[in-house]
Amino acid sequence: LLSLLCLVPGLARAQAEELENPGTVSAVQDRLYRMHHELSLGVGVLPADAFYKGLIGTVGYTYHFSDSVAWQVGRGTYSYNVQTSLRRQLERDFDAAPTATAFEDQVQWMVGSDLMWSPLYGKTSFLNSNVIHFEVSLLAGGTVVKVDRGDGFRPAINLGLGVRVFSTQNVSFRLDVTNNTVFAGAARIINVPTVQIGTAFNFGATE
């Protein structure tokens, strides 16, 4: 009997805590924005080459099969190339230019296609006032790269990461960081990284 009397206060406290904290229910909200037909326009840079920097413009079309899987059916990029100070210094001070191989590997334009997977979608707040919806994507695909050398057409594998911030159902903004591994010859591989920001227009989807 004494032991039962000792248990009563503990049971009472447990019941009180359960009433005060009845447990939590986890729920995942549905997406506010959905993509379907996407037309994207972007500008960016080819930052890696020591002898030139490319200022690029890109246009692309993407079809979204679902919230997480999409096919960037086509993308085309043109590069306006600017000589770096290193190349100008070599020509001015040493009366020498970079090797023909280095110079002729400058990218003129690229066309390609990618599969996109968007495993992350979420929302956050800016200054605790505006709610920002975003998603993170991985992409992989193939590219044909036109360089200055000879006939100049080279195959490449493209891998990258993208972040999208939604403005409205029809407009979003993208940041894409990619790298094209270009097969320039039997024993030569060129890496062409790109950093690009752009605006995407979405058609045919409802909230």
**Burial of 81 from C-beta contacts in 10 A (0-12 / 13-18 / 19+):** middle
Residue whose pair of structure tokens reads 């037309």 in the numeric block? 39
Q: For residues 145 and 179, is the Cβ–Cβ distance under 8 A?
A: no
Q: With H, G, I as helix, E, B as strand and everything else as coil, classify residue 4.
A: helix
Pair of tokens at residue 201: 């227009």
Dump pLDDT digits (tens) for 94-150: 665 555 455 567 899 999 999 999 999 998 887 777 889 999 999 999 999 998 766
Q: What pTM was computed for the model?
A: 0.78
Pairing, β 107-126 against β 189-203: unpaired
Q: With H, G, I as helix, E, B as strand and everything else as coil, classify residue 93.
A: helix
Four-CA torsion 154, 142, 63, 176, nearest 10 degrees: -90
Q: What is the mean pLDDT of residues 2-10?
A: 49
pLDDT of residue 178: 97
**Is 30 or 70 the better-scoring residue by pLDDT?**
70
Q: Name the helix (H) or strand (E) containing 43.
A: strand 37-46
Q: For residues 112 and 95, give the distance between their C-alpha atoms in angstroms, rounded to a whole number.
A: 38
Dump pLDDT digits (tens) for 80-105: 988 877 666 666 556 655 554 555 67
Whether 5 shows a pLDDT value over 50: the answer reads no
Q: For residues 92 and 73, give the distance between their C-alpha atoms in angstroms, rounded to a whole number.
A: 45
**Is residue 100 in a domain?**
yes
**Is residue 193 in a domain?**
yes
**Is residue 25 in a domain?**
no
**Is 64 or 92 the better-scoring residue by pLDDT?**
64
Confidence of residue 195 (pLDDT cuts 50, 70, 90): very high
Q: In percent, how much of the chain has pLDDT > 70? A: 73
**Is residue 184 in a domain?**
yes
Phi-psi region of 22 (alpha: psi -120 to 50; beta: other; left: phi over 0): alpha
pLDDT of residue 4: 40
**Is residue 78 in a domain?**
yes
Whether 8 shows a pLDDT value over 50: the answer reads no
**Is residue 2 in a domain?**
no
Q: For residues 51 and 84, is the Cβ–Cβ distance under 8 A?
A: yes
**Is residue 8 in a domain?**
no
Total of domains in the chain: 1
Q: What is the mean pLDDT of residues 156-166?
A: 97
**Is residue 16 in a domain?**
no
Q: What is the mean pLDDT of residues 37-55?
A: 91
Q: What is the CATH number of the domain that holds 113?
A: 2.40.160.20
pLDDT of residue 10: 56
Q: Mean pLDDT of all residues in the chain? A: 83
Q: What is the domain extent for residue 102?
A: 33-203
Q: Of 22-26, 60-64, 71-75, 195-199, which range is least confident?
A: 22-26
Q: Of 67, 155, 152, 71, which Cα lies nearest the Cα of 113?
A: 71
Confidence of residue 185 (pLDDT cuts 50, 70, 90): confident
pLDDT of residue 22: 57
